[in-house]
Amino acid sequence: MRYFFNSRDIDTFEADDIGLELTDLEDVKREAAICLAELACDVLPGNESRLLAIEVRDERGQSVLIARMAFEVQVLIPG
């Protein structure tokens, strides 16, 4: 089945129009985690707080899962 991995970063939503053919839910979860890590690498440097998400839907348009990551930096000493 084909799955689509849409990304969300605060108010920005990016739809995946290509998707990937995957065999089971474990593969979908693994790919969602990889997509989330790649998104984090792109947007986190220089930011102190972010909420990121990968929203997965199948080829029928049905929502399958959401993977979320909250990131926060708290500076403890004066810089």
Q: Is residue 57 part of a domain?
A: yes
Instruction: Tell whether the model's pLDDT for residue 67 goes beyond 80.
Output: yes
Domain range for 32: 2-72
* The predicted structure's pLDDT at residue 75: 80
Q: Is residue 14 part of a domain?
A: yes
Q: Is residue 20 part of a domain?
A: yes
Instruction: Tell whether the model's pLDDT for residue 79 goes beyond 80.
Output: no
Could you give the number of structural domains in the chain? 1
- Per residue in 12-49, is it b (16+ CB within 10 Å) or e — as a string? eeeebeeeeebeeeeebeebbeebbeebbeebbeeeee
